[in-house]
């Protein structure tokens, strides 16, 4: 029994260590953060850096508000806007198409399904090249539109696939009843199916929101330094790997703020998020055989 607890402790340390590190540094002032050996508990814990990043308190030395606070705030607003638009559009198109796949048989259905799945295996490093070139030609670099189009390219297929599974598991009885009551197929979809499944569709929307919220590479290529810049490139520019020499607590505090939505929604929707990974041409079929924790 003791062995089990020791092992559990080790696992908890492994999982929690990087997160603890970052929260720890975010609560220190710059001098303490770079002290060696590491202080495992801040001697004078301070929320100063959180205040500065959120533009609640001015910088102690200069007396001015942090310039980065504006960047960060704009990034927050942009991230939320882009993620909402993409999630909404993807869920609408995905639920209509997913419903069609779940309920009707039609020619080349499997070919369509496979094409959806294949578009999921394209690496971002590859897709960024044509998108960058096309947007460069069209003057869409540094715009919301460019980023939204890029995100739609992988979130629509994902939404379709997940919602297909969702609709396939819904009972058809109420839909039959709707037809008998004289509703057309479109009427059944909008009056019966969508109201019935609004909860499931909404949780898919939240997952898609998180996906855009977490996306770094396309955002870096397409909107870094522009007015449309989202949170990930804004936070990433603070890293000491790059030329900038921003203080470690500044990066740590902005990371913590950024991770809160992901961690909260991630904890609530844990199972859905993990099951999302089944969306892959290879594992989609085999995945059905696995019961989920």
Cis peptide before 151 (omega within 30 of 0): no
> Does position 8 bind other proteins by CB under 8 A?
yes
State which of residues 201, 228, 251, 253 lies at the interface with other proteins (CB under 8 A): 251
- To the nearest 10 degrees (0 to 180), the angle between helices 67-103 and 198-213 is 140
d(CA 10, CA 29): 29
Scanning residues 255 to 274, which ones bind other proteins (CB under 8 A)? 255, 258-259, 262-263, 265-267, 270, 273-274
Q: Tell me how far, at minimum, the Cβ of 208 lies from other proteins, in Å.
A: 14
Residue 165 contacts other proteins per CB under 8 A: yes
Contacts with other proteins by CB under 8 A: the residue count is 122
Lay out the site mask for other proteins across 40-79 (x = CB under 8 A, - = otherwise): x---------------------------------------
Phi-psi region for residue 39, left (φ > 0), alpha (ψ -120 to 50) or beta?
beta
Q: Would you give the DSSP letter of residue 190?
A: I
How many angstroms separate the Cα of 260 from the Cα of each of 5, 19, 35, 118, 256?
29, 12, 27, 32, 6
Report in angstroms how near the CB of residue 83 gets to other proteins at its nearest: 12
169 near other proteins (CB under 8 A):
yes
Residue in 54, 85, 127, 206 binding other proteins, rule: CB under 8 A: 127
- When asked if residue 202 is in the footprint of other proteins (CB under 8 A), the reply is no
Tell whether residue 107 is a contact of other proteins (CB under 8 A).
Answer: yes
**In this complex, which beta carbon is closest to other proteins, that of residue 57 or of residue 102?**
102
| In the complex, minimum distance from the CB of residue 129 to other proteins, in angstroms, rounded to a whole number | 5
Q: Is there binding between residue 198 and other proteins (CB under 8 A)?
A: no
Q: Are 159 and 208 in contact (CB under 8 A)?
A: yes
Distance CA 194, CA 126 (A): 36
Contact predicate 255/26, CB 8 Å: yes
């Amino acid at each position: 029994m003791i062995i089990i607890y020791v092992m559990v402790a080790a696992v908890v340390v492994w999982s929690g260590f990087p997160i603890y590190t970052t929260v720890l540094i975010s609560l220190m002032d710059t001098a303490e953060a770079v002290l060696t050996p590491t202080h495992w508990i801040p001697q004078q814990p301070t929320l100063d850096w959180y205040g500065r990043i959120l533009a609640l308190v001015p910088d102690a030395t200069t007396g001015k508000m942090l310039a980065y606070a504006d960047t960060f705030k704009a990034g927050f607003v942009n991230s939320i806007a882009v993620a909402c638009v993409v999630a909404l559009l993807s869920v609408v198109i995905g639920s209509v198409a997913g419903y069609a796949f779940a309920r009707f048989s039609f020619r080349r259905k499997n070919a369509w399904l496979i094409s959806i799945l294949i578009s999921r295996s394209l690496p971002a490093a590859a897709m960024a090249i044509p998108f960058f070139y096309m947007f460069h030609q069209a003057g869409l670099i540094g715009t919301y539109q460019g980023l939204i189009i890029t995100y739609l390219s992988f979130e629509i297929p994902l939404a379709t696939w997940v919602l297909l599974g969702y609709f396939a598991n819904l009972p058809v009885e109420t839909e039959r009843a709707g037809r008998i009551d004289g509703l057309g197929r479109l009427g059944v979809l909008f009056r019966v199916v969508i109201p019935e499944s609004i909860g499931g569709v909404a949780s898919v929307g939240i997952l898609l929101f998180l996906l855009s919220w977490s996306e770094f590479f396309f955002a870096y290529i397409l909107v870094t330094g522009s007015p449309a810049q989202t949170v990930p490139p804004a936070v990433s520019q603070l890293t000491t790997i790059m030329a900038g020499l921003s203080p470690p607590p500044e990066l740590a505090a902005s990371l913590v703020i950024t991770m809160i939505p992901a961690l909260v929604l991630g904890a609530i929707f844990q199972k859905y998020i993990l099951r999302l990974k089944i969306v892959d041409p290879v594992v989609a079929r085999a995945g059905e055989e696995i019961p989920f924790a």
